[in-house]
Amino acid sequence: MSSKLMLVLFVTAVLMTSIVAVSIPAASALTARTSFNDNHYTASHPGGPGICGDHICAPGEYDKMQQALAQAQMKGKTAPSAPTTPSAPTTPSAPTTPSAPTTSQGQNMPTMAATAWTTKTGTVTSIQDPGQGHESHQLAIILPPSDKIYSGVISWTASEPIQVVELTGPLASGDDKGQPVWTTDGKTKFALTLVDVEQASGSFAFTGNALAIHQMTTKTFTVSYAVSYMQSSPSDTTKTGTLTSIQDPGQGHEGHQLALILPPSSNPYHGVLTYATSENVQLVSLIGPIDPSDNKGQPVYTMDGKTWYALVFVDPANQMGTWQFAGNAIAVHTMHTTPFQVSYTVDAHQ
């Protein structure tokens, strides 16, 4: 009897264990937990009431917070435009003239006209100089006389050493007072600047109303050249003229003579000066004004004891020449009390 009771209890226990095992699903790391939901919502996982800061979002508050976050992230960025359907290719239209640039207010900005440079090369054989008093000389004209001002550079190679000739003018009646002049008829006169470079090959920066190659012999010469130049109309800084010097107004220079070519300017000049004078001269460039405390041994110049300039003083010991300069004022000078005459061409830029 007892053995039958034990058998019934054993079978009952086995049946109960099987029922429990079937009702509980098997756990596996490979089985997706699709039914899991712990109802925790954040701003990046919408779907429920959500959390807004330290509280549960009120109706509509969550959407407003999302919009504010999106606007903050997109600040300073340009939203991408929708792609457009490519259009069929069209025949290119004729090019149009570019319009002048404008400012942010729509006003036209000033444009700078390009300087017209001319470059040419050639080979010439000299002829008898047609200038009065130059009949025994030879001349090869590179740039003929013009009412405009030539400025540029010439490079040459010749069959013998040469001189470079620059003409300034024509001179006004009565302006030929001792400076070298050149004329073919005795009426139309040019100031003559003759630079004896004493080279058969070389380069030279020039300015004037005419340019030529010259030699003081009767024998012809041949010269090949390349010249690059521009032609300018007279202006305040590019001009020809004739001056009679005055007493130098600088303190300590009362016994000297001065002819001012370019007056003092706050913007420095740079350029080329060609001159022909009635006597040997010095060339003056002023730099400044400078602080009076900077006067520490270098030559200086002042007219009133208040405004001071550093003094550049070049003594070429001649009465004609060409000078490449820079400074805030340009003048020609002598250490004499008698006036002198100077004819010049200056091409300066600021």
Percent of the chain with pLDDT over 90: 65
CA distance 95 to 255: 66
Residue 335 · residue 255 · CB < 8 Å: yes
Dihedral sign, CA of 227, 230, 232, 238? negative
DSSP 3-state assignment of 255? coil
pTM (predicted TM-score):
0.68
- For the cut 80, the answer to whether the pLDDT of residue 339 exceeds it is yes
Question: What counts of helices (H) and strands (E) characterise the chain?
Answer: 2, 18
Residue 200 · residue 253 · CB < 8 Å: no
Average pLDDT for the chain: 80
What does the block give as tokens for 27? Answer: 């756990």
- For the cut 60, the answer to whether the pLDDT of residue 192 exceeds it is yes
CA distance 230 to 244: 29
CA distance 314 to 108: 45
pLDDT at 62: 56
What does the block give as tokens for 55? Answer: 């509280």
What does the block give as tokens for 65? Answer: 């917070």
According to DSSP, residue 303 is labeled S
Domains plus CATH for the chain?
Answer: 118-232 (2.60.120), 238-349 (2.60.120)
Q: Cα Rg for the chain, rounded, in angstroms?
A: 47
pLDDT at 68: 60
Q: What is the pLDDT of residues 243-293, one digit of tens each?
A: 999 999 999 999 999 999 999 999 999 999 999 999 999 999 999 999 988
Confidence bin at 67 (pLDDT 50/70/90): low
CA distance 128 to 244: 33
